Amino acid sequence: MTSKKEIENFITSQKSIWLYGKVQRTLYAVLSALPDKDYRKVTKNLILMVLHEGALGQVMHFPNPKGEFRVLQLIFPDKIPTDVLRFVIAHELGHVMQGRNWRKSDETHLEEDADEHATKWGFPKTKFIAKWMGHYGAKYGF
Protein backbone atom coordinates (compact mmCIF):
# COMPACT_ATOMS: atom_id res chain seq x y z
CA MET A 1 0.00 0.00 0.00
CA THR A 2 1.27 3.46 -0.88
CA SER A 3 2.24 5.46 2.19
CA LYS A 4 0.39 8.56 3.32
CA LYS A 5 3.64 10.57 3.06
CA GLU A 6 4.27 9.45 -0.53
CA ILE A 7 0.76 10.48 -1.57
CA GLU A 8 1.11 13.81 0.25
CA ASN A 9 4.46 14.42 -1.49
CA PHE A 10 2.90 13.72 -4.88
CA ILE A 11 0.02 16.12 -4.16
CA THR A 12 2.47 18.79 -2.97
CA SER A 13 4.43 18.38 -6.22
CA GLN A 14 1.35 19.39 -8.22
CA LYS A 15 1.72 23.16 -8.27
CA SER A 16 -1.60 23.88 -10.00
CA ILE A 17 -3.61 22.66 -6.98
CA TRP A 18 -1.84 24.46 -4.14
CA LEU A 19 -4.78 26.86 -3.68
CA TYR A 20 -7.46 24.20 -4.00
CA GLY A 21 -7.87 22.39 -0.70
CA LYS A 22 -10.99 20.54 -1.86
CA VAL A 23 -9.12 19.12 -4.85
CA GLN A 24 -6.14 18.17 -2.67
CA ARG A 25 -8.34 16.34 -0.15
CA THR A 26 -10.35 14.61 -2.87
CA LEU A 27 -7.25 13.62 -4.84
CA TYR A 28 -5.80 12.17 -1.63
CA ALA A 29 -8.96 10.10 -1.06
CA VAL A 30 -8.85 8.71 -4.60
CA LEU A 31 -5.10 8.01 -4.65
CA SER A 32 -5.32 6.32 -1.23
CA ALA A 33 -7.90 3.87 -2.61
CA LEU A 34 -5.72 2.71 -5.52
CA PRO A 35 -3.70 -0.48 -5.29
CA ASP A 36 0.04 0.33 -5.13
CA LYS A 37 0.65 -0.94 -8.69
CA ASP A 38 -2.10 1.32 -10.09
CA TYR A 39 -0.91 4.27 -7.97
CA ARG A 40 2.60 3.94 -9.40
CA LYS A 41 1.29 3.77 -12.96
CA VAL A 42 -1.07 6.74 -12.73
CA THR A 43 1.36 9.04 -10.91
CA LYS A 44 4.46 8.30 -13.01
CA ASN A 45 5.23 11.45 -15.00
CA LEU A 46 1.76 12.86 -14.25
CA ILE A 47 1.15 16.61 -14.18
CA LEU A 48 -2.19 18.01 -13.02
CA MET A 49 -3.56 21.18 -14.60
CA VAL A 50 -6.48 22.38 -12.51
CA LEU A 51 -8.67 25.17 -13.86
CA HIS A 52 -12.14 26.47 -13.04
CA GLU A 53 -14.32 26.46 -16.13
CA GLY A 54 -15.06 24.29 -19.14
CA ALA A 55 -14.93 20.48 -19.28
CA LEU A 56 -14.65 18.56 -16.03
CA GLY A 57 -11.52 16.66 -16.98
CA GLN A 58 -9.14 15.62 -19.73
CA VAL A 59 -5.97 13.53 -19.93
CA MET A 60 -3.38 13.85 -22.70
CA HIS A 61 -0.43 11.51 -23.19
CA PHE A 62 2.80 12.97 -24.61
CA PRO A 63 5.82 10.94 -25.73
CA ASN A 64 9.29 12.23 -24.86
CA PRO A 65 12.82 10.79 -24.86
CA LYS A 66 12.74 10.11 -21.10
CA GLY A 67 9.49 8.15 -21.23
CA GLU A 68 5.87 9.04 -21.82
CA PHE A 69 4.26 11.59 -19.56
CA ARG A 70 0.63 12.53 -19.12
CA VAL A 71 -1.16 15.75 -18.28
CA LEU A 72 -4.42 15.57 -16.38
CA GLN A 73 -6.52 18.70 -16.72
CA LEU A 74 -9.10 19.03 -13.99
CA ILE A 75 -11.69 21.78 -13.84
CA PHE A 76 -13.98 21.97 -10.89
CA PRO A 77 -16.93 24.28 -10.33
CA ASP A 78 -17.13 25.78 -6.84
CA LYS A 79 -20.30 23.83 -6.04
CA ILE A 80 -19.26 20.42 -7.41
CA PRO A 81 -20.35 17.71 -4.97
CA THR A 82 -17.41 15.81 -3.48
CA ASP A 83 -18.65 12.44 -4.75
CA VAL A 84 -18.81 13.85 -8.30
CA LEU A 85 -15.29 15.25 -7.99
CA ARG A 86 -14.02 11.89 -6.66
CA PHE A 87 -15.57 10.10 -9.62
CA VAL A 88 -14.15 12.63 -12.12
CA ILE A 89 -10.64 12.26 -10.68
CA ALA A 90 -10.87 8.44 -10.60
CA HIS A 91 -12.32 8.39 -14.15
CA GLU A 92 -9.49 10.59 -15.48
CA LEU A 93 -6.90 8.39 -13.74
CA GLY A 94 -8.61 5.49 -15.55
CA HIS A 95 -7.68 7.25 -18.80
CA VAL A 96 -4.07 7.44 -17.57
CA MET A 97 -4.17 3.66 -17.13
CA GLN A 98 -5.07 3.32 -20.84
CA GLY A 99 -1.66 4.64 -21.88
CA ARG A 100 -2.81 6.44 -25.03
CA ASN A 101 -5.06 9.16 -26.38
CA TRP A 102 -8.54 8.62 -27.80
CA ARG A 103 -8.98 7.71 -31.47
CA LYS A 104 -12.18 8.06 -33.47
CA SER A 105 -12.37 4.27 -33.86
CA ASP A 106 -12.57 3.96 -30.05
CA GLU A 107 -16.08 5.45 -30.04
CA THR A 108 -17.07 5.33 -26.33
CA HIS A 109 -14.94 2.32 -25.36
CA LEU A 110 -12.22 4.33 -23.60
CA GLU A 111 -14.85 6.27 -21.62
CA GLU A 112 -16.48 3.02 -20.53
CA ASP A 113 -13.08 1.59 -19.59
CA ALA A 114 -12.26 4.70 -17.52
CA ASP A 115 -15.63 4.32 -15.74
CA GLU A 116 -14.76 0.68 -15.00
CA HIS A 117 -11.44 1.70 -13.44
CA ALA A 118 -13.20 4.29 -11.28
CA THR A 119 -15.73 1.67 -10.17
CA LYS A 120 -12.98 -0.89 -9.44
CA TRP A 121 -11.26 1.68 -7.21
CA GLY A 122 -14.47 2.35 -5.29
CA PHE A 123 -15.81 5.41 -7.11
CA PRO A 124 -18.72 4.23 -9.30
CA LYS A 125 -20.69 6.57 -11.55
CA THR A 126 -23.99 6.66 -9.69
CA LYS A 127 -27.25 7.97 -11.12
CA PHE A 128 -26.75 11.17 -9.10
CA ILE A 129 -23.25 11.65 -10.55
CA ALA A 130 -24.43 10.98 -14.11
CA LYS A 131 -27.33 13.42 -13.66
CA TRP A 132 -25.11 16.12 -12.16
CA MET A 133 -22.55 15.75 -14.95
CA GLY A 134 -25.33 15.79 -17.55
CA HIS A 135 -26.67 19.08 -16.20
CA TYR A 136 -23.16 20.54 -16.08
CA GLY A 137 -22.44 19.43 -19.65
CA ALA A 138 -25.73 20.85 -20.92
CA LYS A 139 -24.87 24.18 -19.30
CA TYR A 140 -21.64 24.36 -21.32
CA GLY A 141 -23.00 22.84 -24.52
CA PHE A 142 -21.34 19.40 -24.52
Q: What is the pLDDT of residue 79?
A: 86
In degrees, to the nearest 5, what angle opens at C-alpha 140 toward C-alphas 84 and 126? 25
Render pLDDT for 27-40 as a digit per residue (tens, 0 to 9). 999 999 999 999 99
Q: Which tens digits make up the pLDDT trace of 36-86?
A: 999 999 999 888 877 655 457 767 666 676 777 777 777 778 789 999 999
Over the stretch 93-140, which tens digit does the pLDDT of each residue have? 999 999 887 888 988 899 999 999 999 999 999 999 999 998 887 776
The pTM score is 0.73
* Domains annotated on the chain, with CATH: 4-140 (3.30.2010)
Residue 51 has a pLDDT of: 65
pLDDT at site 103 = 83
pLDDT at 138: 75
Strand runs labelled E in the chain: 46-51, 57-62, 69-75
